[in-house]
Amino acid sequence: MGGKMKQSEAGPMAGEDFLQRCRGIVGPGNVITGQDDMAPYLTDWRGRYTGNAVAVVRPATTQETAALVALCAQARVPVVPQGGNTGLVANSVPDQSGQAVVVSLKRLNRIRGVDLVNNTITVEAGCILEEIQNAASDAGRLFPLSLAAEGSCTIGGNLATNAGGTAVLRYGNARDLCLGVEVVNAQGDIWDGLRGLRKDNTGYDLRDLFIGAEGTLGIITAAVLKLYPLPKAQVTALVGLQSPQAALELLSLAQETCAAGLTGFELMSRFSLDLVTRHFPQMRIGLSEEFPQYVLLEISDSESEAHATGLLEALVSEAMERELLGDAIVASSIAQSKALWSLREHITLAQAIEGKHVKHDVSVPISRIAEFIRETDALLQEAFPGIRLVTFGHLGDGNLHYNASAPEGVADDVFIQGQEAINRIVHDSTHRFGGSISAEHGLGTLKRDEIKRYKSAVELRMMTAIKSALDPLNLMNPGKMI
Ligand code: FAD
Ligand code: 2HG
Ligand code: ZN
């Protein structure tokens, strides 16, 4: 089992003849070759990786995508699938060889249908996440996947990365929300797996192979997604606490009090919020600044606004009594709730504006998260005195964004030279705690080599065997993940 994967080679047809055939498939206007026009597709969201490509090609249908991939297979031209290019692990941009074609799926953006009895929506891969949320809501349903990049990421990218976000606690991640996929495989064949079934035990779960594969096995062209009832009410609160341990205790209490009504539970260190208000001063909300940690929590309710508010008030007063929390801001309007969520959703952008930093997207068992933070903070401060940790994330899922910025007075470029050593401390610590070094963003180029330290040889061999079987020429997003 296993075997070494082939290096992908650009074939003889990656020249003008190849481009001409691409134009024949998608139309001349959808084969982009000028460096300036290709630029937005060649650099990742963080601006840390810039690659090169033969062309960016923009198919509009599954059939065009299939014809294009078949042509690439024939010509041995590597394919880099791309959606909104918001990935955070450098998985959506080509390498610098200039041999690959970037296949942008953004023109595959039709909503194919809503089935209100099956509670599903069938969408093409290039649909923007927010547009799917809106289409679901127009149909009186909820599509719960939600993340700060929802205005620009696509469902194809969400599925290819098995995206998480802020509603996983209640609804699961992208994988849990998908009932079927349509895929163009590495040979350019179309697999119609748009079954929309909630039960289907007919062999290996191919759908789940393509989900989370970061475009390394094929291109997802469409998907059937689960819909849920729209909640009657949603209430949001931002509370201040003394420690991650207090946040954990609050989480247990909230789960006891609200059961499945608890739909969001996000931890944010004070420094994370300070960064947001430093770079977006208009977002100040008169928050008491005396707490080292904050939790943004959301309760959704199928009964009424009054019932939801009652649950939240009961939770807050019980938590106060147990001295778990100090300050609490309970949003009294949709606008205020949005303002609280906006603070949370601007942390990534604020830290990017603050400067280059080292990102981590780790998960550990929820019960061990406070201990993980305590121990890893101490190790990092010892090795890099003054390191500024931006610790936030989806506490309810045991998933932390444990991002490190340079100490005051240290230039970013100097600081990120220590990236390897910082990764070693954080990832070794994650591993000791029984965790994962990529909870929701994937491996991409950023963590492709790092993962070899933490997965067993047998697991890596099985992954390589799957890749070799489905993409024997190693043409699908080569160099990413595996
Ligand atoms: P891209 O970035 O274009 O691609 C991502 C990967 O998917 C690449 O490997 C690409 O090759 C592959 N791919 C794209 N489309 C397809 C397709 N149709 N078929 C096969 N492969 C494909 N992620 C989270 O999980 N949770 C968060 O809370 C979160 N918050 C974010 C906040 C911000 C501000 C930003 C910038 C990013 C955030 N992300 C988050 C990361 C990112 O948004 C997600 O990974 C998202 O799912 C990527 O979607 P995309 O369309 O931009 O994909
Ligand atoms: C989030 O939860 C995203 O906001 C981004 O996953 C995390 O910026 C990050 O590291
Ligand atoms: Zn996240």
Query: CATH class for domain 111-229?
Result: alpha beta
For residues 46 and 149, give the distance between their C-alpha atoms in angstroms, rounded to a whole number: 13
Q: Cβ–Cβ contacts within 10 Å for residue 103, how many?
A: 26
The closest residue, in CA terms, to atom 13 on ligand 1 is 157
Tell which one of 88, 123, 155, 349 to mutate to probe ligand 1, the residue whose CB is within 8 A of the most ligand atoms: 88
Give me the CATH code for the 233-348 domain, please.
3.30.70.2190
For residues 58 and 125, give the distance between their C-alpha atoms in angstroms, rounded to a whole number: 13
Contact between 332 and 370 under an 8 Å Cβ cutoff? The reply is no
For residues 251 and 243, give the distance between their C-alpha atoms in angstroms, rounded to a whole number: 13
Query: CATH class for domain 12-107?
Result: alpha beta
For residues 453 and 359, give the distance between their C-alpha atoms in angstroms, rounded to a whole number: 18
Distance 61 CA to ligand 3 centre (A): 31
234 pocket-lining for ligand 1 (C-beta < 6 Å): no
Please report, in angstroms and rounded to a whole number, the separation of the first and last CA atoms in the chain. 16
Q: Which residues of 414-444 are buried (b: 16+ CB within 10 A; e: fewer)?
A: ebbebeeebbebbbebbeebebbbbbbbbbb
- Separation in Å, CA 143 to CA 14, 123, 221: 41, 12, 19
Q: Is 307 exposed, middle or buried (0-12, 13-18, 19+ CB in 10 A)?
A: middle
Residue 110 neighbours by CB under 8 Å, 6+ apart: 123, 124, 127
Residues with CB under 6 A from ligand 2: 148, 348, 359, 393, 401, 403
Residues of the chain with CATH 3.30.70.2190: 233-348
Task: Look at residues 436, 458, 433 and name the one whose alpha carbon lies nearest to residue 447.
Answer: 436
The ligand with the least distance to the CA atom of 93 is 1
Contact between 407 and 384 under an 8 Å Cβ cutoff? The reply is yes
Task: Look at residues 321, 442, 432 and name the one whose alpha carbon lies nearest to residue 368.
Answer: 432
Give the DSSP letter of residue 397: G
Domain 355-442 has CATH 3.30.70.2740: yes
3-class secondary structure, 77: coil
The tens digit of pLDDT for each residue in 342-396 reads 999 999 999 999 999 999 999 999 999 999 999 999 999 999 999 999 999 999 9
Task: Look at residues 285, 292, 262, 395 and name the one whose alpha carbon lies nearest to residue 342.
Answer: 285
Residues of the chain with CATH 3.30.43.10: 12-107
Task: Look at residues 173, 120, 180, 117 and name the one whose alpha carbon lies nearest to residue 145.
Answer: 173
The pTM of the full predicted model, rounded to 2 decimals, is: 0.97
Beta bridge partners of 262: 299
3-class secondary structure, 235: strand
For residues 411 and 100, give the distance between their C-alpha atoms in angstroms, rounded to a whole number: 35
Q: From first to last of its 482 residues, what are the pLDDT tens digits of the chain?
A: 334 445 444 444 589 999 999 999 999 999 999 999 999 999 999 999 999 999 999 999 999 999 999 999 999 999 999 999 999 999 999 999 999 999 999 999 999 999 999 999 999 999 999 999 999 999 999 999 999 999 999 999 999 999 999 999 999 999 999 999 999 999 999 999 999 999 999 999 999 999 999 999 999 999 999 999 999 999 999 999 999 999 999 999 999 999 899 999 999 999 999 999 999 999 988 777 789 999 999 999 999 999 999 999 999 999 999 999 988 999 988 899 999 999 999 999 999 999 999 999 999 999 999 999 999 999 999 999 999 999 999 999 999 999 999 999 999 999 999 999 999 999 999 999 999 999 999 999 999 999 999 999 999 999 999 999 999 999 999 999 99
For residues 94 and 477, give the distance between their C-alpha atoms in angstroms, rounded to a whole number: 8
Tell which one of 68, 147, 276 to mutate to probe ligand 1, the residue whose CB is within 8 A of the most ligand atoms: 147
The closest residue, in CA terms, to atom 41 on ligand 1 is 87
Contact between 302 and 228 under an 8 Å Cβ cutoff? The reply is no
What is the Cα 224 distance to its own chain's centre? Answer: 19
Residues of the chain with CATH 3.30.465.10: 111-229
| Nearest atom within ligand 2 for CA of residue 394 | 2
Task: Look at residues 249, 233, 102, 226 and name the one whose alpha carbon lies nearest to residue 173.
Answer: 226
157 pocket-lining for ligand 1 (C-beta < 6 Å): yes
The tens digit of pLDDT for each residue in 244-288 reads 999 999 999 999 999 899 999 999 999 999 999 999 999 988 777
